[in-house]
Amino acid sequence: MQVFKVIIKTIRKNLHVLSIYLVVFVFFLILMSSLQTSEGSTTFSEVKRSVMIINKDSGNVIADAFADFMKKSSIPIAPVETEEEMLDALFNEEADYILVIPEGFSKDFLSGSHTVQLEQQSVAGSRGAVWTDMKIRKYLDLLRLYTELSDVDANDTEAIAKLSAQVETQMNKETKVVYPTGVQKEKESSVPYFSKFMAYSLMAITILGVGTILKLFTGRDFKNRLRCSPEKTSSVNLQLVLGNLCFAFTAWAVMTLVCLSFGLKDGLKLWVWVLVLNSLVFMITTLCMSVVIGLVVKNENVRTFVANVVALGSSFLSGIFVPIEFQSETVRKIAGFIPAFWYVKAVEEAKNLTSYAWSDIQPIAAYMAIQLGFGVAFICVAMAVSREKSRHSI
């Protein structure tokens, strides 16, 4: 097992470079799991928007009740003090809408003149702005209806409070919502998300690792030294395949374990194991792709460059970093030629599995088969390249 030992030695020597991608992966998982807070439900849950409410007219019933309503019906964001912090919150999408209730708003509203307007900062025409504007209009239209038809005195706080309470009661009236049979909302698990990101790190590590091994074994001196050794060519090749496979499998196993341990809190359902199988298939395809890259690219710098371009490029185009449904038709068509695209499609399909009949699993199996098809194609290319190179060796 001389050849196998050399492979292990080579990997160990380059472990520091390869581990960068593992560190990035673990870092990502830690960050993302700390960000995830959403809870599932079996009934309709409104998609709420984050609104920063700054009430400069506090102490007045109208402004206070309105601010309370907005806080209850949105995801309230803690108010900030400076204008720049408000702009930051808007840019970073921490707040979809910044609502300032100016001083004198309540008094002006009751007078019916509506000259003191609410101050808002949002991205015009955005979903957050449309949603929040609807909420504001909904509440204030109702309040206007009550105040203007009841001729309430602006100084009669008790009567104003009663009106606000009436508005509040009306606001609690909701339309009944039903889901088609079989549609049950569940808490979204983080495992599919992690599983998708894993593909990026797996691609980078495998291309770099396999490239390093192949660079050594396809080097002229090393190859000639092997040829004059008593080791049979078939044995050398077998050990080479085994070594690469062991390396890729170890990288996959470590990442899968990390991924599963982070997703453990969401429960390991049956479809999680489908994801694991899918990632194993993707690992095989990536390994085949890495062999082609390793055979073609000899320069170490260029190899790192190719590893990054392939890993990052595939990740962006195939929906690992950015969901595929947000991408243009052209990008989707291009992405069809990338194995990672089919990997992501299988992940998306698997996470929605509720039953495991063949008809449910069939699309996932088809996506895995496409990935393996890519693998076979890569092996064919690798064999052709290898054959061509052996003609010119020595």
List the interface residues with another protein, window 79-138 (CB under 8 A). Answer: 83-84, 86-87, 90-94, 99-100, 114, 117-127, 129-131, 133-138
Phi-psi region of 393 (alpha: psi -120 to 50; beta: other; left: phi over 0): beta
Residue 368 burial by Cβ neighbours in a 10 Å radius (0-12, 13-18, 19+): buried
Which residue, 87 or 238, is less far from another protein as judged by CB? 87
Query: By CB under 8 A, is residue 34 in contact with another protein?
Result: yes
Q: 3-class DSSP state for residue 76?
A: strand
Which residue, 141 or 388, is less far from another protein as judged by CB? 141
Burial 1-16 (b: 16+ CB within 10 A, else e): eebbebbeebbeebee
Q: From the CB of residue 327, how many other CB atoms can be counted at a distance below 10 Å?
A: 16
Query: By CB under 8 A, is residue 140 in contact with another protein?
Result: yes
Measure Cα distances from 334 to 188, 200, 319, 324 in Å: 29, 18, 12, 12
CB of 119 to another protein, least distance (A): 4
Which residue, 94 or 231, is less far from another protein as judged by CB? 94
Query: Site for another protein (CB under 8 A): which residue of 183, 228, 357, 394?
Result: 183
Stretch that binds another protein, among 141-149, 209-217, 247-255, 378-386 (CB under 8 A): 141-149
For the segment 12-31, give every residue that binds another protein (CB under 8 A): 16-17, 20, 23-24, 27-28, 31
Query: By CB under 8 A, is residue 254 in contact with another protein?
Result: no
Stretch that binds another protein, among 227-235, 330-338, 343-351, 366-374 (CB under 8 A): 330-338
CB of 369 to another protein, least distance (A): 26
CB of 244 to another protein, least distance (A): 22
Measure Cα distances from 392 to 213, 228, 234, 296, 299 in Å: 21, 18, 20, 14, 19
CB of 97 to another protein, least distance (A): 10
Which residue, 172 or 234, is less far from another protein as judged by CB? 172
Query: By CB under 8 A, is residue 337 in contact with another protein?
Result: no
Query: Site for another protein (CB under 8 A): which residue of 328, 355, 387, 391?
Result: 328
Query: By CB under 8 A, is residue 78 in contact with another protein?
Result: no
Q: What are phi and psi of 184, to 5 degrees?
A: -125, 125
Which residue, 235 or 327, is less far from another protein as judged by CB? 327
Residue 13 one-letter amino acid: K
CA distance 314 to 274: 22
Which residue, 126 or 386, is less far from another protein as judged by CB? 126
| Long-range own/partner contacts, residues 87-93 (CB < 8 A, 24 or more apart) | 87/121, 89/52, 90/121, 90/122, 90/123, 93/50
Query: Site for another protein (CB under 8 A): which residue of 72, 185, 187, 265?
Result: 185
Rg (CA), the chain: 30
CA distance 259 to 203: 16
Q: 3-class DSSP state for residue 6?
A: helix
